[in-house]
């Protein structure tokens, strides 16, 4: 009887093109019985997290695929009639967000859970990602599941929650279905032939970017299911047909652009039916065809490659721009004249809201004539969709009154009225306003804040939270992870990022026994930045850590021109620079540390000495694309016991063309390592040229190519002009004998 009622619910959903979250809490055999004959043989259902033999196509009477939740990210873009997510073996917030977005209008998202009280107390295996050894999942807090239960059992939510102890499940389903009909805003499917009216506006706006005035980028935003990606693909092909030759799309991963290229391929095939088009290639990442005696291409290029070698394409599109850091987006903006930035506002991974807050300031500064367009009309389901509402509100993916409190109830900043304190996870779990405010600040602060960060806030027992408030308004937050206290003989250690990195590269195994709090995130409200709030947060963190007898504070982050000086100014010193670049941001991770105990002071000093000796060689061998400004920021933290006046004499000799570069290149290199503050006075262009040649030891040809100079002569002219500008005239009086003694010294 229950299955028949669920079938009736599905018929109602199809009529209104809505989707619903159905939660089945109870025994597995009861859950299976509720799903029998719920879908038709021609429909497609995905089962996530269940054992492969849990459901059979015969049992459900439809096509069903069983999938490990770790593979889910590779299925993005699929549209399904139903998704079954088994939470009995674990549940992650990101999985909820991804899976819900795959259900099309008229479909069901079925969540299978144990008995509610059992679910509350059962350890969640997906919490293991947040835990450092020796913590186990049994020690993780249960507050994330509590949060979901509280959200989805709220009276205002359109969530159908059934248990195997319901006295009259049929009546419950009937009542829910009737309420759904009363609240439905549409009785017909919104699905229409693409492009929709909203999408057509996007296509026209992108056309204006391609053919209108330069330096007027378009920012395209949308919630999930609004057809943003398909509009990009359609617009790209339209621009190529109208005269453009080469359009490039970038994103943090190629698989994120699957839908874009699918629609680009469809548009190309459709156009070939009426136009003289010879299609060359049609695959994810590349669509090319001959039209009007020209080869037209629409291709994917990774963002880190664009930083190294800017494209000469007619238009550069950035899909899911919120997944990329603002410094990288700014670099792309400077190097390309016609750009489209597209982002999902409420995504499972990365935050469009944070992107808007951070990047719009950059756009206002460098391209004040930029345009903004927001896609509102859903195309995969109807407006006010119950499933979208249930997931977004539970995972804090949509703005609400809490967010407006953060953004509108502003007060004049008063540093004397700033309250800094440690918050417990219990505080967050019992104060929904504080929880939402903290998560909102994290969204604004970091380009990859995702629903899993909300889960970590409510689950990790090794998390430290420091807040800064003024008149109960949250202005800033610092999140730390406890690391260290590892025995050198320990094997299969999970987590402990900083101790393991430093032991692997510089320190002995005993170093891992020291304790550290690693700063994972630091966020300050946009309206109160540059007021010293971040500095006060780190100062308070240091005081609390000292009281807890922590040996040292640490952090690991992607290096940028803004972040490095901030950390170094707070007394943190660089201890490691990763040699692998992040494929999305193109940046290298930097590990920094601040000793609090005598043992840590001695240990970090040894590590810093080893790092100082090695880093200049790492620059030559592995950091070919790190900007000189960041290298100089690290070099400024170095300390040298002796002075070598002959090094400065070598720089003067090269400036005045008394010595050929090859005869003193070693002296110039060492002078650069010891004098980063002097080099920082040069222009960015001069720093880049000097850094490529002297610090990175690149060939004259490569330096000239990277910096757009006419060969060696042009490179040397820039280098010598730089020395003339940054070396005071008084230094010209250094006697030649000092320089000669430097050359003759063994």
Residue 132 scores a pLDDT above 50: yes
What tens digit of pLDDT does each residue of 491-534 get? 778 899 999 999 999 988 899 999 999 999 999 988 888 899 99
The answer to whether the CB of 679 falls within 8 A of the CB of 669 is no
Whether omega before 134 lies within 30 degrees of 0, making that bond cis, reads yes
Write the pLDDT tens digit of every residue in 436-475.
999 988 887 776 788 999 999 999 999 999 999 998 889 9
Q: What interhelical angle do 628-635 and 598-622 show, nearest 10?
A: 150
Banded pLDDT at 415 (limits 50, 70, 90): confident
Element of type H or E holding 467: strand 463-470
Closest among 349, 381, 423, 397 to 151, alpha carbons compared: 397
List, edge to edge, every strand of the sheet that includes 44-48: 63-67, 44-48, 80-86, 103-113, 20-25, 159-163
Region of residue 566 (left: phi > 0; alpha: psi -120 to 50; beta: else): alpha
Give tens-digit pLDDT for 261-279. 999 999 999 999 999 999 9
Q: Under a CB-based contact definition with an 8 Å cutoff, are residues 334 and 365 in contact?
A: no
DSSP calls for 19-44: -EEEEEES-HHHHHHHHTT-S-TT-E
Q: How many CB atoms lie within 10 A of CB 74?
A: 11
The whole model's pTM is what? 0.86
E strand residue ranges, 582-632 = 588-595
* pLDDT at 417 (0 to 100): 85
- Please determine, for residue 490, whether its predicted confidence score (pLDDT) is greater than 90: no
Task: Note the pLDDT tens digit of each residue in 639-667.
Answer: 998 889 999 999 999 999 999 999 999 99
DSSP 415: G
Write the CB contacts of 30 (distance below 8 Å, at least 6 apart in sequence).
24, 164
Note the Cα 632 to chain centre separation in Å. 26
Peptide linkage before 195 cis (omega within 30 of 0): yes
Question: Tens of pLDDT along 330-377?
Answer: 889 998 999 999 988 765 555 556 677 678 888 999 999 999 999 888
């Amino acid at each position: 009887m229950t299955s028949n009622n669920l079938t009736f619910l599905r018929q109602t959903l199809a009529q209104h093109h809505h989707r619903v979250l159905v939660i089945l809490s109870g025994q597995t055999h009861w859950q299976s019985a509720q799903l029998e004959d719920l879908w038709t043989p021609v429909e497609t259902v995905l089962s996530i997290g269940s054992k492969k033999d849990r459901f059979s196509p015969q049992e459900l009477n439809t096509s069903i695929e069983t999938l490990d939740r770790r593979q889910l990210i590779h299925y993005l873009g699929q549209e399904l009639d139903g998704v079954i997510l088994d939470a009995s073996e674990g549940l992650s917030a990101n999985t909820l967000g991804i899976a819900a977005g795959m259900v099309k209008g008229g479909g069901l998202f079925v969540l299978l859970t144990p008995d509610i009280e059992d679910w509350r107390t059962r350890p969640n295996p997906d919490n293991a990602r947040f835990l450092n050894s020796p913590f186990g999942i049994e020690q993780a807090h249960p507050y994330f599941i509590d949060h979901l239960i509280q959200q989805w059992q709220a009276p205002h939510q359109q969530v159908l929650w059934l248990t195997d102890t319901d006295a009259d499940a049929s009546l419950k389903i009937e009542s829910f279905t009737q309420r759904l009909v009363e609240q439905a805003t549409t009785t017909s499917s919104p699905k229409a032939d693409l492009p929709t009216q909203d999408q057509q506006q996007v296509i026209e706006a992108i056309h204006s970017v391609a053919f209108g005035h330069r330096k007027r980028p378009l920012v395209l935003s949308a919630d999930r299911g609004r057809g943003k990606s398909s509009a990009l693909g359609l617009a790209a092909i339209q621009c190529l047909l109208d005269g453009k030759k080469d359009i490039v799309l970038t994103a943090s991963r190629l698989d994120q652009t699957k839908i874009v290229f699918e629609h680009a391929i469809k548009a190309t095939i459709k156009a070939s039916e009426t136009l003289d088009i010879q299609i060359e290639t049609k695959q994810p990442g590349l669509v090319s065809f001959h039209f009007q005696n020209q080869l037209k291409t629409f291709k994917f290029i990774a963002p880190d490659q664009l930083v190294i070698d800017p494209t000469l394409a007619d238009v550069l599109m950035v899909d899911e721009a919120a997944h990329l850091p603002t410094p990288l987006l700014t670099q792309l903006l400077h190097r390309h004249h016609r750009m489209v930035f597209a982002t999902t506002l409420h995504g499972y991974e990365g935050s469009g809201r944070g992107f808007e807050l951070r990047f719009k300031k950059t756009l206002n500064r460098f391209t004040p004539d930029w345009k903004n367009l927001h896609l509102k009309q859903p195309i995969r389901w109807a407006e006010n969709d119950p499933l979208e509402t249930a997931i977004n509100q539970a995972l804090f993916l949509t703005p609400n009154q809490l967010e407006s409190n953060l953004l509108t109830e502003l007060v004049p900043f008063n540093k004397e009225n700033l309250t800094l304190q440690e918050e417990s996870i219990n505080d967050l779990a019992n104060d929904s306003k504080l929880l939402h405010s903290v998560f909102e600040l994290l969204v604004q602060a970091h380009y990859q804040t995702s629903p899993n960060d909300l889960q970590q806030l409510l689950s990790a027992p090794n998390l430290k939270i420091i807040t800064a408030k003024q008149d109960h308004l949250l202005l800033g937050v610092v999140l730390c992870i406890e690391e260290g206290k590892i025995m050198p003989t320990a094997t299969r250690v999970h987590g402990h990022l900083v101790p393991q990195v430093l032991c692997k590269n510089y320190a002995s195994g005993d170093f891992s026994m020291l304790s550290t709090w690693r700063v994972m995130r630091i966020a300050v409200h946009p309206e109160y930045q540059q007021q010293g709030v971040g500095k006060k947060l780190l100062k308070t963190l240091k005081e609390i850590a000292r009281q807890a007898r922590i040996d040292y504070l640490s952090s690991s982050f992607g290096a940028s021109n803004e972040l490095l000086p901030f950390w170094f100014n707070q007394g943190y010193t660089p201890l490691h620079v990763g040699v692998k670049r992040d494929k999305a941001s193109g940046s290298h991770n930097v590990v920094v540390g601040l000793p609090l105990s005598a043992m840590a002071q001695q240990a970090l000093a040894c590590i810093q000495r080893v790092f100082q000796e090695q880093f200049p060689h790492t620059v030559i061998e592995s950091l070919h694309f790190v900007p000189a400004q960041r290298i100089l920021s690290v070099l400024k933290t170095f300390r040298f016991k002796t002075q070598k006046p002959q090094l400065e004499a070598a720089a003067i000799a090269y400036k005045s063309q008394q010595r050929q570069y090859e005869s003193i290149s070693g002296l110039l290199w060492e002078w650069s390592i010891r004098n980063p503050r002097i080099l920082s006075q040069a222009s960015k262009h001069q720093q880049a040229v000097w850094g490529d040649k002297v610090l990175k030891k690149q060939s004259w040809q490569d330096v000239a190519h990277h910096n757009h100079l006419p060969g060696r002569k042009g490179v040397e002219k820039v280098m010598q002009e730089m020395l003339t500008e940054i070396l005071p005239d008084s230094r010209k009086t250094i006697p030649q004998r000092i320089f000669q003694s430097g050359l003759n010294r063994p």
